[in-house]
Structure 1
């Protein structure tokens, strides 16, 4: 597991929490911010996954 995967997963979790807080409080801006952060985290984690796969292929 590389750094991008770990950071992306953490960012995705943080975004989910922000989004939930926004929903509960009715704060649409916080909800949108959380959704965007969640997507960014998911993308970063996916980049990390691809990097890991590429590294494994190079080792083979």
Structure 2
């Protein structure tokens, strides 16, 4: 697991918390912020997954 995967998951968690707080308090801006954070976290984690996959492929194809 690389730092992009970890930070992506952390961003997703922060987003879920913000979304829940926004829903509970009726704060649409905080709810939207949470949605956006979750999306950004998913993208960063996917980027980290890709890096990890590339590293694994390079190890498999090394002489």
Q: TM-score range by the shorter chain?
A: over 0.9
**What TM-score does the superposition give when structure 1 sets the normalisation length?**
0.97
**What TM-score does the superposition give when structure 2 sets the normalisation length?**
0.93
The whole-number CA distance in structure 1 between the counterparts of 2:18 and 2:38 is 9
Partner in structure 2 of residue 43 of structure 1:
43
- Structure 1: which 4+ aligned runs deviate by more than 3 Å? none
Number of residue pairs matched by the alignment: 60
Unmatched 5+ stretches in structure 2: none
Deviations 1:11-37 (A, max 9, x none): 000000000000000000000001000
